[in-house]
């Protein structure tokens, strides 16, 4: 993404100032060396004019020469320290500027996406209700419209929940209250409710090993698999397959969400769990989202003493694996 002239202007003035400082440093170093050389020659000539013997002149010349070299070493040492500090300062300022620029871009992307994400379900739900209000529809059509309106309100509710949860995470005020839960039943119930309320164009597979128990925060843990599922739907084509699997293997509980969608490049894999991060330009991106889902997923998994990885599916798509150690649930 190309930087705008307004964003690059402060960096231009910064580099111009650095260039000026470097030129001034080189010039003053040159003057110091020349001044020392000139002082050395003047003292040598003065010794000769005093009429001193050749041996005395040579001896004093050697002393002056030694002092000259010491001053050169001092200038070189101080110059090296100055250049080192200058380079470190440039590096830190450039790093800070880049970080602030990325943060500003992320905030811009978030505002653009959140505006769209808030308006779309509200407008859609309003349209559904207006349709019911203005037209006499048969019972089947009414149920379909009501189902779509409920899906839009659920989408809006999930969006608000994600924003609130991200705010709590940033302010370090979110506390997990863990209890022993049948994770198999929790995932099956939540996903089944979603599938019953909205007809997805993808083929959804639930492969849940029964009666897997785990100590979790029951109110927040669903955000993990629901966000992963929503992410898979978002980047999958119609008639593709999305699989949600849960299994217990040795001392590990593995929750995985697999899709055969567009996939994630190796470059993006390292960034997708960052807050507000989304691939591409928010002004041209067609997929829904705010860049908070995977950020929340990673945080909640780590709070449950787990890890999450993403890898390529074969022949295409992505696999998200959340791994939890069972010995942390005692």
What residues does each domain of the chain span?
5-106, 109-170, 178-328
Examine the pLDDT at 40 and tell me if it is beyond 70.
Answer: no
Cross-strand pairs, 254:
247, 323
Q: What pLDDT is recorded for position 172?
A: 73
Burial status of residue 296 (CB atoms within 10 A of its CB: 0-12, 13-18, 19 or more): buried
Calculate ∠ Cα 41-43-47, nearest 5°. Answer: 115
Q: What pLDDT is recorded for position 213?
A: 95
Q: What pLDDT is recorded for position 209?
A: 95
State the pLDDT confidence band at 53, using cuts at 50, 70 and 90: low
In this predicted model, what pLDDT tens digit does every residue of 147-191 receive, in sequence order?
Answer: 888 878 887 887 888 777 777 777 777 788 899 999 999 999 999
Q: What pLDDT is recorded for position 186?
A: 95
Are 275 and 269 within 8 A, CB to CB?
no
In this predicted model, what pLDDT tens digit does every residue of 218-276 receive, in sequence order?
Answer: 988 999 999 999 889 888 888 899 999 999 998 899 999 999 988 888 888 888 888 77
Q: What pLDDT is recorded for position 320?
A: 96
For the whole model, what pTM was predicted? 0.61
CATH no., domain 109-170: 1.10.287
Q: What pLDDT is recorded for position 180?
A: 94
d(CA 249, CA 135): 55
Are 240 and 202 within 8 A, CB to CB?
yes
Q: Among 65-69, 98-102, 165-169, 184-188, which is the least confidently predicted range?
A: 65-69
Q: What pLDDT is recorded for position 61?
A: 59
Higher pLDDT, 247 or 97: 247
- % of the chain at pLDDT higher than 70: 78
> DSSP label at 137?
-
In this predicted model, what pLDDT tens digit does every residue of 105-120 receive, in sequence order?
Answer: 767 766 766 676 777 7
Mean pLDDT throughout 68-75? 71
Higher pLDDT, 197 or 278: 197
Q: What pLDDT is recorded for position 281?
A: 45
Examine the pLDDT at 282 and tell me if it is beyond 80.
Answer: no
Measured on CA atoms in the order 208, 210, 214, 217, is the torsion positive or negative? Answer: positive
State the pLDDT confidence band at 2, using cuts at 50, 70 and 90: very low
Nearest to 237 by CA among 274, 271, 262: 262
Mean pLDDT throughout 2-31? 71
Q: What pLDDT is recorded for position 31?
A: 75
Q: What pLDDT is recorded for position 243?
A: 94
Are 300 and 223 within 8 A, CB to CB?
yes
State the pLDDT confidence band at 328, using cuts at 50, 70 and 90: very low
d(CA 166, CA 207): 30
Examine the pLDDT at 33 and tell me if it is beyond 80.
Answer: no
Q: Does domain 178-328 bear CATH number 3.30.565.10?
A: yes
Q: What is the DSSP string of 162-227?
A: HHHHHHHHHTT-----EEEEEHHHHHHHHHHHHHHHS--SSEEEEEE-S--EEEEETTTTHHHHHH
Q: What pLDDT is recorded for position 290?
A: 66
Mean pLDDT throughout 86-97? 81
Q: What pLDDT is recorded for position 190?
A: 92
In this predicted model, what pLDDT tens digit does every residue of 19-29 receive, in sequence order?
Answer: 878 787 778 77
Q: What is the pLDDT of the chain when averaged over all its residues?
A: 80
State the pLDDT confidence band at 216, using cuts at 50, 70 and 90: very high
């Amino acid at each position: 993404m190309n930087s705008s002239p307004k964003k690059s202007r402060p960096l231009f003035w910064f580099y111009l100032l650095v260039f000026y400082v470097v030129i001034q440093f080189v010039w003053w170093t040159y003057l110091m060396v020349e001044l020392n050389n000139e002082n050395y020659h003047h003292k040598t000539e003065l010794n000769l004019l005093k009429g001193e013997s050749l041996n005395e002149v040579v001896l004093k010349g050697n002393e002056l020469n030694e002092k000259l070299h010491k001053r050169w070493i001092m200038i070189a040492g101080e110059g090296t320290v100055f250049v080192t500090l200058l380079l470190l300062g440039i590096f830190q300022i450039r790093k800070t500027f880049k970080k602030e620029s990325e943060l500003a871009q992320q905030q811009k992307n978030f505002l653009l996406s959140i505006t769209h994400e808030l308006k779309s379900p509200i407008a859609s739900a309003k349209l559904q209700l207006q349709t019911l209000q203005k037209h006499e529809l048969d019972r089947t059509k009414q149920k379909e419209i009501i189902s779509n309106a409920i899906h839009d309100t659920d989408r809006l509710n999930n969006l608000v929940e994600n924003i609130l949860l991200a705010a709590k995470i940033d302010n370090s005020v979110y506390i997990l209250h863990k209890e022993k839960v049948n994770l198999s039943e929790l995932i099956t119930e939540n996903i089944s409710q979603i599938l019953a309320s909205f007809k997805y164009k993808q083929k959804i597979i639930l492969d849940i090993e029964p009666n897997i128990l785990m100590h979790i925060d029951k109110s927040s843990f669903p955000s993990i698999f629901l966000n992963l599922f929503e992410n898979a739907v978002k980047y999958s084509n119609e008639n593709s397959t999305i699989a949600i699997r849960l299994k217990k293997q040795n001392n590990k509980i593995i929750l995985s969400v697999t899709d055969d969608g567009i996939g994630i490049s190796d470059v993006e894999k390292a960034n997708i769990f960052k807050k507000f991060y989304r691939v591409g330009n928010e002004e041209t991106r067609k997929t829904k989202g705010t860049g908070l889902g995977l950020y929340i997923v990673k945080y909640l998994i780590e709070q449950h003493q787990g890890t999450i990885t993403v890898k390529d599916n074969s022949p295409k798509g992505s696999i998200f694996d959340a791994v939890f150690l069972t010995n942390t649930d005692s």
